[in-house]
Structure 1
């Protein structure tokens, strides 16, 4: 009878997961402070207190691989829930991301990486997907009578993404930090939808600055209480 190979110890698996996450968190801070160009592999290794071998084990493409992982792991639709109005979902995803970017260094890094001049050549950026997502939502909202018929979903989807990014990128310059981002993003959606939405719908929409925090915490609570997956 052949003896099965020993399973990898759970502690060793967790150590590998922790090392990978530490590299991502460290690289994120460096990318935010010094940009992609200003951060070297050696900077990441030294700051993460790991080895070159460990970094390339998890990210064979080195710094580029870490950047790709940041873009893939952080830019998600987590927390978005189905709502009565499509316009509410449009507001919600922007508010969730506004909340997260105030609290997650990796998401801050992802935004900075996404506006790098060579971003489309280096790694996938979220903007085309987010714009297309908003086009789909705005089109459905228009079909339901939630937004006025003269509105162009394509143009407004582009404007939403551009306004959102502009507010977040300007916050550290104008406000000194990201402390007012959720408030400013909330106001952005309120002002924009006053010009786009059917007037009778506006009182039904929740533009609260804390809405993103509530929705994302509900998502995290759901993860915490979910039964563990079978191995």
Structure 2
């Protein structure tokens, strides 16, 4: 046997078989009351006047007045009770429909919010990828003078990492010259480094926005945070970023 279908809305439980059973009980009770009232009315008349069928229209008219006078109030009362029950049923149906609609609305709002969050995550990841792409182009920029061996900012980054890992190792003269030009306003090297610092700031800005929206850092974002953090050895020698920038990227990469 199939189990009753239960529709739960908020704190309301609405069982369809139980609801049908209530309808049957109500109408069954009405029919019983009508039958009992009719039988009692007829029985009382028969007990008082007997079962002789009269041929006088006046007797039949009196019987009709008696029958109607006794049963009409009963039927009117039952009709009034039925009306009240119908109003109550309609009110209950309306409340159930309203609660179902509210639940569907809440579900739709949750889906819309989930879609917005997913879109925000996708857009944020796209921006971080674009920032990383711009950084890669800058790292491939040649910063050595004409007629000398081509040296790129990427090589300067590697030299900074090498020196940070072993502070006793001597710095290349090219790196010291790179740092000096990077601090010289108006030089080509300074322009590249200034754009690099700006992009790192933007990367941090979007990662902070990601954290403010209570999103979990995906492995992809941790990867980009680690890439941004790998620039800190060189950029800290040049300057231009807050002191806690390295710690910020390291925290995300290791979270």
TM band (smaller chain) = under 0.3
The structure with higher relative contact order (CA 8 Å, sep 6+) is 1
Q: Which has the higher helix share?
A: 2
Q: Normalized against structure 2, the TM-score is what?
A: 0.26
TM-score by length of 1: 0.28
